Structure 1
Amino acid sequence: MNCILFDLDNTLYSPDRQLFALMDKRINSYMHEIVGIPLHQVDELRRSYWQRYGVTMQGLMRHHQVDPEDYLRYVHDIDVPSRLEPDPLLRQALLSLPQRRVVFTNSSICHSERVLQALGLRDLFEEIYDIRIADYLPKPYPDPYRAVLEKLGAVASDCIMVEDTPENLLTAKQLGMGTVLVGQRDRGDYVDVQIDHAAQMPEAMNFWSAA
């Protein structure tokens, strides 16, 4: 295995940090105040768009002609350092991995930069691939995975995807990647290894070393 693709939010830090709660408020605010969707319809529409398209933004683009760049700027305008701090344990774990390391996320590069800076990890990743990689199509659509592999000049069988969302790992496995699920969720047979925290990645790599 030559390359490890890390998801960002709730993967490189614990969901207990509640960073997503800040983004949730911004998404609801955008839908109501900017797009003009009645407040009582916001939650139902968000669930519907998430289920149909993988991210709320795709539904807003398709049905409300929302500018994706405007949406990304608004939703990710949050106080990241108020929820995250440097993680020396994770930093040491990542430094011990000899593989190429990149971030592959459904968020934006600007948001990713802020998160990585807050965690003290920015210098440990050679690249960040965000929602723009395949014309705003998110994981678990296969197109962004293929686009990332092309950018890396890598084949799927040489890569490992590290994620907190099982559905995103299913696509990775179907393309031929190794898969690591972070967090306590039900795991399907498409998950090779399950860990509690991203800092356990050195131990997770034993799965492939043994093979």
Structure 2
Amino acid sequence: MILSNDTDRIWLFDYDLTLYAESERAVLNSLDRRIALYVQQVANIDYDHAQEIRKRYWKEYGTTLAGLRAVYGVTPNDFFDFIHQPETLVYPDFAPQKRALLEILKGPKYIFTNGRSDWSRKGSSKMGILDCFERIVGLEDMNWDGKPQVSAYETMEKVLEYDGFWKKGDDPSRIVLLDDALHNLRPAHDRGWKTVWVNPISEENGSFTDFRIPDLMDLLKLLG
């Protein structure tokens, strides 16, 4: 199957483990460590138990933050201010090859992320690709209710409408979401968006994935 690359396309990219690869997992690991430390502090538990809760909340609620808000009533900006400590974090490498790929894609491009936008802004700037995107739609733009909550996708469509690239009644398959998290693709598929699962590891698949690639650079193969 070929994914057409034309001016009517709207490209939405998750940030973590999508714009940068599984080979740079140290980036996400550095953030996950801070998240576990935050869980440890809020729940008053040991670090290993905090890591377990971090992962469990991600699976059950879509994001660890959503679980912390539901169970402990934490404030999102307190959470992000704690985990986004620059001296403790790792960022992706400069990636001119990804810039070249993004420049090939016709139509507007966005970062659509479950993180607060300063995290992906800093990282994509380090990669040298920040200016390839119209804007970053971060968790704060979704009223802190991120993917896979339906409201997150509704917000993204409103942003596209506001920016003049899409409106209700348009063909939803013009919108392409690339994401490493399988559960984030189902609501997009249900809305009629095209879905690309970026995952080099799992053998799992879903009827709601239109395409699967192991790495963002493999998008070139889909474009034919």
Q: When the two structures are superposed, what TM-score results if normalisation uses the length of structure 1?
A: 0.89
Q: Partner of 1:199 in structure 2?
A: 217
What corresponds to 1:69 in structure 2?
77
Q: Deviations over 1:57-103 (max 9, x none)?
A: 11111221211001012112245884422111111111011111000
Q: 1:35-73 CA deviation, whole Å, 9 max, x = no partner?
A: 242116423422332222111111111221211001012
Q: For 1:76, give the aligned amino acid.
A: H
- Stretches of structure 2 that go unaligned for 5 or more consecutive residues are 1-7
Distance of aligned partners of 1:110 and 1:14 in 2 relative to their CA distance in 1, 3 Å threshold: same
Report the 3-state secondary structure (helix = DSSP H, G, I; strand = E; otherwise coil) of the residue aligned with 2:176: strand
Percent of paired sites with the same residue: 26
Per the alignment, residue 8 of structure 1 pairs with 15
Give the count of matched residue pairs: 205
| CA distance in structure 2 between the aligned counterparts of 1:82 and 1:23, rounded to whole angstroms | 8
Q: How does 1:1-211 map to 2 (within 5 A)?
A: 1-17=8-24, 18-33=26-41, 35-39=42-46, 41-79=49-87, 82-153=90-161, 154=166, 155=170, 156-184=172-200, 185=202, 186-206=204-224
Which residue identity lines up with residue 16 of structure 1 in the other structure? S
Gaps of 5+ in 1: 207-211
Query: What does the per-residue CA deviation read over 1:128-150, in whole Å, with 9 as the maximum and x for residues that have no partner?
Result: 00112322112111110111111
Q: Which deviates further from its counterpart, 63-72 or 151-160?
A: 151-160
Name the CA distance, whole Å, in 2 between partners of 1:31 and 1:165.
22
Q: Is the 8 A contact 2:65 2:76 kept in 1?
A: yes
Distance 1:173 1:113, change over 3 A: same
Structure 1 residues 205 and 133: CA distance shift in structure 2, 3 A: farther
Large movers: runs of 4+ above 3 Å: 78-83
Q: TM-score, normalised by structure 2?
A: 0.84
